[in-house]
Amino acid sequence: MRHLNRSVHLNRSTSHRRALFANLSAALFTHKRITTTLAKAKYTRQYAERLITFARRGGLADRRHVLKFITNKAVVKALFDDLGVHFKNRDGGYTRIIKLGFRKGDAAPMAIIELVGFDDVPLEAPKGKSTSRLKASQSKPVEEKISDADIASAEEVEVSDVEGVESTTPEESTETEETVETESTETEKSDDVKAESDKSDSSETEGSDKKE
Residues recorded for the chain: 212
What pLDDT, in 10s, does the model give residues 29-77? 999 999 999 999 999 999 999 999 999 999 999 999 999 999 999 999 9
* Distance between CA atoms of residues 91 and 56, nearest Å: 10
* Distance between CA atoms of residues 148 and 162, nearest Å: 21
Strand partners, 36: 111
* Distance between CA atoms of residues 12 and 174, nearest Å: 92
What pLDDT, in 10s, does the model give residues 97-148? 999 999 999 999 999 999 998 876 666 555 556 566 666 667 655 454 455 6
Residue 163: per-residue pLDDT: 59
State phi, psi for 102 to the nearest 5 degrees: -115, 145
Residue 212: per-residue pLDDT: 47
For the chain, the average pLDDT equals 79
C-alpha closest to that of 57 among 68, 66, 69 = 66
Beta-strand (E) ranges in the chain? 33-37, 95-102, 109-115
Tell me whether residue 170 is exposed, middle or buried, using C-beta atoms within 10 angstroms of its C-beta: 0 to 12, 13 to 18, 19 or more. exposed
Residue 177 or residue 171, greater confidence: 177
The percent of residues in the chain predicted with pLDDT above 90, rounded, is 48
Task: Identify the DSSP state of 126.
Answer: P
State phi, psi for 136 to the nearest 5 degrees: -65, -40
